[in-house]
A and B are shown apart, each in its own frame.
Chain A
Amino acid sequence: MDINTVFPLIPLTKLELLNLLPLFTISFGALFSLLAGTHKVKGHGLAFIVSAIFLICAILQGMFPLFSSDITLLGGSLTFSPFTKTANLMIMIFALIGIVLTYGHDHKEGLLAEIYSLILFSTAGMILMVSTTHLIMMFIALEIMSLAVYVMVAMRRNSRFSAEAGLKYFVLGGLASALFLYGTALVFGALGSFELLALESALRMSAHQSFIFFIGLGMIVVAMLFKVGAFPFHGWLPDVYQGASTNVTAFMGAAVKFTAFLAFAKIAQYLIFVDTVPALKWFQFFIWFIAAASMIYGNFVAIAQNELKRMLAFSTIAHTGYLLLGLYAMNIGEGSVESILLYLFFYAISNLGAFAVIALFEEKNQKDLHIEQIAGLGIKHPILGTLLTIFLLSMAGIPLTSGFIGKYGLFSSAVNAGEVHLVIIAVLTSVVSVYYYLRVVIYLFMKESTLDTAKFQKLKGATIAAFISAAATLQFGLFPKAIIHFIKMIGK
């Protein structure tokens, strides 16, 4: 049967369709899951099953055409290369873990069944965002992703913190989107294109660019730094991490950060790391500065936190700093983008796992888990305590865990590119980070439990999510050969 008889309106080749299929599946899955969620009694369970099945199908579909040649669609605004397809696959994996984590937690927190379809909608937005090189397309993708996440953050209806977080995120996120759009308009005004590739070649034509271009680029950069949560655009982050229901925080910390950072890396690669325009040196220096400031600020402020989710929120600022270091190194050396991808992937997995364990100990409508509440938990629940320890050690970059491999790859690629100073700042601040991660481990295993100590909430989904994440963290930490080989392959 000819493909055009099935989809008569879209003249697509088989390969193009194959590449787009995961995106279609996820979008349809979101709709079906929305429908399934309307069931009065079993709405949550049905929505979970439907969304999980569609996601698994999408992941399988995404795996087949992984190494096919690059596909460009919609006049060049969507590009599917092995790199973007791998990133998409990773996003879908985060979404799947996020959905599993949500199962069970939704009842505890009184979340509506729509949460599952919202996760899928935002996943669709993320896939678009990673795959596009068109600024307007990127804006639309950003909005698809963000709007769903705003709703998810505010969905914990019985908690005023959730409403506060949702509002904060929405207002500030709206501002960032507006900046992005205005910046795009200014860049278009200056250079006459929305296409990153075309913009880059326009930049290379002339060493002197109009002032409008730099204003526009500055706005885009600020909007993206807001989304990735870099200092000093991080103000929303701790409150949103705390106020949102923990499964949403986990999904945000993993997938949103992953997507936003990859999109920022793409913008930086085409618009900032252009060596023919001298004035762009200031932007490059700005990234250097933000990297150093995020590492220092995030790590030092995290020390002072006594609440787990808030501490992880500040630590995520520090991780953004490390990633920006990798990004800065991309400017001067080859091969960093793979190490950024690897680091993001490992970090996201550990992050999902850590929040899954937190979810297992949070009471209904609790804002955050206080560190005193986990005193002695590792003794009472040795396995879960060990899991949380693994995730925290991974974030701290201690060997045995994937976080170490990720950090090793990122920092070594930066040293290879010649950026030693920033790496030294990074390793010294990561000693600081070891302190606050270990503090949690100390409370888990070395303090006596008290009456305040949190109770274990029997949640199947979160338990499974924690185990999957831990298995992945250890697997990639001990036997990283396969995944590194894979990442090298897609880079070629």
Chain B
Amino acid sequence: METTSCLLTWIIFSPMLFALVAFLTPSAFEGKLRTITLIQTLFSAVLAIVLYFNFDGSLAGPQMAHLVAWLPEWGINYLVSIDGLSLPLVMLTAFISPVAILGTWPSKDGELKKEKFFVMMLMFLQTGMYGTFLASDLFLFYFFWEVVLIPMFFLIGVWGGKERIYATVKFFLYTMVGSLLMLVAIFYMLKTSAAQFQEPNAAFVSLHSLHFAFDGTSLMSAMASPQTWLFLAFALAFVIKVPMVPFHTWLPDAHVQAPTVGSVFLAAVLLKLGTYGLMRIAIPFFPEAAFYFKDFFIIMGVIGIIYGAFCALGQTDFKKLVAYSSVSHMGFIMVGLFAFNKVAFAGSLYQMINHGISAGGLFLIVGFLYERLHTRNLNEFGGLSKTVPVMAIAFMIMTLSSVALPGTNGFVGEFPILLGAFQVQPFYVLFAGTGVILGAVYALKAYQLVMLGPQTRTDLGHLHDLNAKEIVAMVILAIFIFGIGFFPKTFFGKSDATLEQYSDSIIGRVVPNGH
């Protein structure tokens, strides 16, 4: 294993190396910058594949750790490692990146706007995402968590639509409020750590052994417990990012204004940072408090599912429809995480990946249409399948994945969540289940309005079908959609050991009967 000990560091920082290359590229080669970005994402994907095959699926704990002393006086170190929870998310990031680059390849070279800055921000963003998923030190996690904001701020603000500045400031400030309170909670945890071990230590493993007092006999006593406040501070930061209703209002704005590639990263990866944070930190570090407040989060998740679906149903803007569908689909993950059930935990992890693939795919479709017809209004399309059959097929696949048809990846995620949650919270799941139906309604409505029916536009003469790069992007996504749909074990098998241990330790600690 010695040879792969730096692998995670390579995965995190190789995009920055390419960013340096991009920075030094003379302006005469500005047209080639996308190619450099593609090479970078493919390089990351190759590293991720190497990582996947070196990953030992039989180990439950973190592996391939890489430790560098960073701020030893404050108990803070650069410590990265990987386990079954972060592996799928790293793989998702590694595969969605080339897809996003291929799917948003600019059609004419002359249209490039501040191209160098753009590709550097994309690479910077990837470093931040990999770093957040791989960090095993709370401070490092926070560091990368914040770093992700900067490139996204620029991606929306510089290359976004008309209301881009409003959207990007809202996105930034919303996330900041949550994460700064999280920072205070981190201070408190490190203080406790220093009191317990003489020296503070921000590594996850070390913080896991801390116990924060919690008294759940009444709401009053729970609110007086330190664990409650720590949990709420972390949970606030994460549910803003998820986003959970009622903290979701930044999402439609950010999505609609962001350039397509930004939307893809936002939907596919950035939202997962929130659920990953809940799964990695908020729930396992403060299980009693999380268990105490589980009903609140499940109810909010269910409200998100239904509210998001109805909002999506009412949209005429295609991109907004997909954005609200994200709110709805992320609600399932919230339900799964706070059900405190083994099957539902696993389903939540799968759903993170699956939503990344289907939402990323749908945003790409929106991007294809917008680039060709310069509109996102659903009523201005109609009957396009005759003109662009390949796009129609791709769109159908993404739609089916989004509505969780059996045989696609969406089913693999949503079904275990509902199944697991039903065993413990049947009443809420009754409502959550309607989200699946509503999901089918709005997704198929969108498909119908765009692809089927009579052609209403007269300017479809120059509407061309998907080009080779776009087809490749769609094929990669389709492989994952059906691959995961038919052979989930092949794709998620390596996470089993970690998930098993994860749910056993949490459920064993907080659930009275231990089921």
Q: Which residues of A contact B (CB under 8 A)?
A: 379, 382, 393, 398-400, 404-405, 408-409, 411-412, 415-416, 420, 423-424, 427-428, 430-431, 434-435, 438-439, 441-442, 445-446, 479-481, 484-485, 488
Contact = CB atoms under 8 A, between A and B. Distances in A.
Interface majority SS on B: helix, strand, loop or mixed?
helix
A399 B143 contact: yes
Top-7 shortest CB links A-B: A415-B187, A427-B180, A412-B187, A399-B146, A446-B157, A399-B143, A416-B191
B181 interface: yes
A434 B178 CA distance: 13
A450 to B, nearest CB: 16
B72 interface: yes
Given A399-B143, A434-B172, A481 B72 contact: yes
A484 B181 CA distance: 24
Contacts of B164: 446
B180 A428 contact: yes
Contacts of A416: 187, 191, 194
A53 B331 CA distance: 65
Nearest to A415: B187
Interface string B166-200: 00110011001100110110011011001000000
B73 A488 contact: yes
A424 B143 contact: no
B150 interface: yes
27 contacts: A393-B150, A399-B143, A399-B144, A400-B150, A408-B139, A412-B74, A412-B187, A412-B190, A415-B184, A415-B187, A415-B188, A416-B194, A420-B184, A423-B187, A424-B184, A427-B180, A428-B177, A431-B177, A434-B173, A435-B173, A439-B169, A442-B169, A445-B154, A446-B164, A446-B165, A480-B71, A481-B71
User: Which of B147, B157, B190: most chain A CB closer than 10 A?
Assistant: B157
B186 to A, nearest CB: 8
Contact of B70 (A408, A442, A481): A481
A444 to B, nearest CB: 10
Q: Interface size class for chain B?
A: 35 or more
Nearest to A411: B187
Nearest to A427: B180
Interface in B256-305: none
Contacts of B350: none
A381 B48 CA distance: 37
Contacts of B144: 399
A445 B71 contact: no
A484 B157 contact: no
A180 to B, nearest CB: 35
A427 B188 contact: no
Interface in B206-223: none
Given A412-B187, A416-B194, A446-B164, A399 B71 contact: no
Interface in B141-160: 142-144, 146-147, 149-150, 153-154, 157-158
Contacts of A481: 69-73
**Most A CB within 10 A of own CB, among B158, B164, B168, B180:** B180
Given A393-B150, A416-B191, 13 more contacts: A400-B147, A424-B184, A427-B180, A434-B172, A434-B173, A435-B169, A438-B153, A438-B172, A441-B153, A442-B157, A446-B157, A446-B165, A481-B73
Interface in B320-364: none
Interface in B50-94: 69-74
A405 B73 CA distance: 13
Contact of A434 (B72, B154, B176, B194): B176
Contact of A446 (B158, B176, B181, B190): B158
B114 interface: yes
B15 to A, nearest CB: 15
Interface string B389-430: 000000000000000000000000000000000000000000
Contacts of A379: 114
B41 to A, nearest CB: 22
Given A398-B150, A480-B71, A442 B165 contact: yes
A470 to B, nearest CB: 15
B117 interface: yes
